[in-house]
Amino acid sequence: MSIQTLKSLADALAQKKTSSRELVTDYLGRIEAQNAAINAFITVDRDGALAAADAADKAIAAGSAGPLTGLPIAHKDIFCTEGVLTTCGSKMLANFVSPYDAHVVSQLKAAGAVSLGKTNCDEFAMGSTNENSAYGAVKNPWNLSRVPGGSSGGSAAAVAAGMIPAATGTDTGGSIRQPAGLCGVTGIKPTYGTVSRYGMVAYASSLDQGGPMAHTAEDCALLLNHMAGFDSRDSTSLERARDDYSAQLNQPLSGLRIGLPKEYFGDGLAADVRAAIENALAELRKLGASTVEVSLPNTHLAIPAYYVIAPAEASSNLSRFDGVRYGHRAAEYRELIDAKTPALDAMYLRSRAEGFGAEVKRRILVGTYVLSHGYYDAYYIKAQQLRRLIAEDFKQALTQCDVIAGPVAPTAAWGIGQMADDPVQMYLADIYTIAVNLAGLPALSTPAGFSGDNMPVGLQLIGNYFGEARLLNVAHQLQQATDWHLRRPDR
């Protein structure tokens, strides 16, 4: 089955070759046929999707359709959706039906997009493999024994398998780019503050950012045009003129300077991934770009800095899930909390012990530790200082080039369970993505070929602040010259 992009589906709707209801019914059928094997969706909103499709068809008939009217999408189950379960992949929120829409959800809904449901994710977006969901691991459509990457693995797997043409994701340390790279789709993390975090359940507030995932850069630009923009309900939302992320897609790459960080091409990068990245860079050179070596000397500090800052913010953000205000409440307990009460008889402790999974507990404990008296200065303040050094590295490198390029991950997708007993090894899989979040920069992953065992490899492109349109332009031009983004798993 050939790739169906949002652009091609929009053209089919405009030319009356199909209807939104027909499209939605088709994709609902694909989800029903494949989800048992891939586990990409937690919730499918069949009735809501069909009702929205019928409304879209009326708008198209009346001539009042917008760019996204009638197009099926899905949302990562970290975005609140009115009247639909929002679980964050956790038992803690297994029964939570949101009373309101996240800003991203309402913006795409207003543009006419039809949501078919909520995609699986690592619990509270904490993970690199999508194995940490209370609803089971997501499988990579290219090989069901491999991970899809995380935490937006459900969205990436659903797009790669053709279950949906596009989906939303969130990126705290690479959680859009890494699964996009491991599943062979396109995903972009915008500049911090470009997309509102209102209604996006928080993991690490100074790092989280929502973004689109689709087959093509063109589709990502189309979605980002509606996702981005100022929102007064989010104190970190940036008030600035809106960008048209589609405007530069067809700009030639002649004169483009691509920086290649020497730290991204050293030991630890698999030979087959390196070969795919070098082939993609060769294609970009054919299109008129040049490459120059740059340095990001504090790259090795990104993981330790991130895994202090992110857990610290998580321990604070997740304190609200206590079984009292909302979230899972233990069925049996004797006291609310009492120093004389055994821990498992206290309602707060039992509720959180039952509601949270192992990885979430691990990060809460680490975060609470580094924020505790006597350790705040030694760990948290030091990590914030390292964060500034990392941002300065990018600032300096981007004076020598227009965009930075490199791998998304050191290897192609690895086996499910392969790193389950070694969380530190799993954290190291984020070595090339985490620094971008610490600096607040935009970055994307675009398909760049395949590994030796035919698993997708992603090329990461990193830009200067508010440089999303340029990144999408580079990815689009590469996609016009190659077919890696058009290939799909044989399912």
Q: Write down the number of H helices and E strands in the chain.
A: 15, 11
For the chain, domain boundaries: 6-256+444-454+466-486
Query: Is 76 known to be catalytic?
Result: yes
Contact residues for 117 (Cβ-Cβ < 8 A; gap 6+): 31, 41, 42, 43, 44, 45, 49, 74, 75, 84
Angstrom distance (rounded) from CA 211 to CA 455: 24
Within 409-469, strands assigned E span 443-450, 456-462
Angstrom distance (rounded) from CA 104 to CA 284: 32
Contact 472, 424 (CB under 8 A): no
Mark out the alpha helices in 346-439 (DSSP H runs): 347-355, 358-371, 382-397, 423-428, 434-439
332 φ, ψ to 5°?
Answer: -130, 130
- Determine how β-strand 186-189 pairs with β-strand 114-119: unpaired
Structure tokens given for 294: 């740059």
Angstrom distance (rounded) from CA 352 to CA 326: 11
- Residue among 19, 98, 133, 175 flagged as catalytic: 175
Contact 173, 437 (CB under 8 A): yes
372 φ, ψ to 5°?
Answer: -75, 160
pLDDT at 452: 95
pLDDT at 359: 94
**Which DSSP helix (H) or strand (E) runs through 40?**
none
CA dihedral 213, 214, 217, 223 (to 10 degrees): -70
Residue closest to 456 by CA, chosen among 186, 97, 200: 186
Stated length of the chain: 491
Residue closest to 284 by CA, chosen among 403, 191, 456: 403
pLDDT-flagged residues of the chain (< 50): none
Query: Is 20 known to be catalytic?
Result: no
Within 263-352, strands assigned E span 290-294
Burial environment of residue 76 by CB neighbours within 10 A (0 to 12, 13 to 18, 19 or more)? buried
- Residue among 76, 91, 109, 189 flagged as catalytic: 76
- 82-140 tens-digit pLDDT: 999 999 999 999 999 999 999 999 999 999 999 999 999 999 999 999 999 999 999 99
What is the C-alpha end-to-end distance of the chain, expressed in Å? 9
- Calculate the alpha carbon distances from 179 to 12, 45, 121, 393, 419 in Å: 29, 24, 11, 25, 16
User: 6-256+444-454+466-486 in CATH: which number?
Assistant: 3.90.1300.10
- Residue among 90, 106, 128, 151 flagged as catalytic: 151
Contact 443, 453 (CB under 8 A): no
Residue entry with tokens 């970290």: 78
pLDDT at 491: 65
Contact 178, 197 (CB under 8 A): no
pLDDT at 373: 84
Angstrom distance (rounded) from CA 149 to CA 11: 32
Q: How far is CA 6 from the centre of its chain?
A: 18
- 394-446 tens-digit pLDDT: 999 999 999 999 999 999 999 999 987 777 777 888 999 999 999 999 999 99
Query: Is 133 known to be catalytic?
Result: no
